[in-house]
Amino acid sequence: MTKPLLIVFLFFSTLAIAQEKDTQTAIDSKESLQAKAVDFGGSVVAKKKSESKDTLNLVSHKEATLIDSLWLNSLYQSPLYDSFQYVLPESKITDEVDINLPTEVLKERLTHLNSQTPFNVEYNPSLERIIKSYLKNRQESLANLMGKAQYYFPMFEEHLDKYDLPLEIKYLAIVESALRPRARSRVGASGLWQFMYYTGKQFGLNVSSYVDERHDPLRATEAACKYLSDLYGIFGDWDLALAAYNSGPGNVSKAIRRSGGSKNYWNIRHYLPRETAGYLPAFYATYYILEYAKEHNIPIGKTYISTFETDTIHIKRQLTFEQINKVLNTDDELLEFLNPQYKLNIIPHVKGKNYTLRLPKDLLGKFVSNEAQIYAFAKADDAKREKPLPKYFEPNQRIRYRVRNGDYLGKIAQRYGVTVSQLKRWNGLRSSRLRIGQRLTIYPKRYAAAPKKKSSSKNVASNSAPKGKYTTYVVKKGDSLWLISKKFPKVSVSQIKKWNNIWSVKSLKPGTKLKIYKG
Q: Which domains does the chain have, with CATH numbers?
A: 3-28+83-291 (1.10.530.10), 457-517 (3.10.350.10)
Q: What is the 3 state secondary structure string of 187-209?
A: CCCECCCCECHHHHHHCCCCECC
Cβ neighbours around 336 below 10 Å, total:
21
The SS3 call for residue 83 is coil
Dump pLDDT digits (tens) for 164-205: 999 999 999 999 999 999 988 888 899 999 999 999 999 999
Q: What is the 3 state secondary structure string of 355-374?
A: CEEEEEHHHHHHHHHCHHHH
Residue 312 pLDDT greater than 70, yes or no? yes
Mean pLDDT of the chain: 77
CA distances from 93 to 101, 109, 140, 389 (A): 16, 21, 17, 57
CA distances from 368 to 28, 54, 374, 376, 492 (A): 39, 19, 9, 14, 21
In contact, 321 and 43? CB cutoff 8 Å = yes
In contact, 318 and 90? CB cutoff 8 Å = no
CA distances from 225 to 148, 158, 203, 230 (A): 20, 11, 10, 9
Provide the pLDDT for residue 60: 55
Calculated CA dihedral for residues 329, 330, 335, 336, nearest 10 degrees = 130
Which residues pair with residue 170 across a beta bridge? none
Residue 59 pLDDT greater than 90, yes or no? no
- Alpha carbons 350 and 356: distance in angstroms, whole number: 12
Q: Burial level of 330, CB count in 10 A (0-12/13-18/19+)?
A: buried
Higher pLDDT, 486 or 234: 234
- Alpha carbons 481 and 77: distance in angstroms, whole number: 9
- Alpha helices, DSSP H, located in 115-216: 125-137, 139-162, 172-177, 197-202
Residues contacting residue 143 through CB under 8 Å, at least 6 positions apart: 298, 299, 300, 301
Dump pLDDT digits (tens) for 321-380: 989 988 888 877 788 889 999 988 899 998 888 999 999 988 999 999 999 999 999 998
Question: Can you give the pTM of this predicted structure?
Answer: 0.64
Residues contacting residue 96 through CB under 8 Å, at least 6 positions apart: none
Q: For the chain, what percentages of helix, strand and coil (3-state, to nearest 5) are there?
A: 50, 10, 40
Q: What angle do CA 368, 373, 376 make, to 5 degrees?
A: 125
Cβ neighbours around 13 below 10 Å, total:
17
Provide the pLDDT for residue 465: 62
Give the mean model confidence (pLDDT) for residues 467-489: 83
In contact, 211 and 342? CB cutoff 8 Å = yes
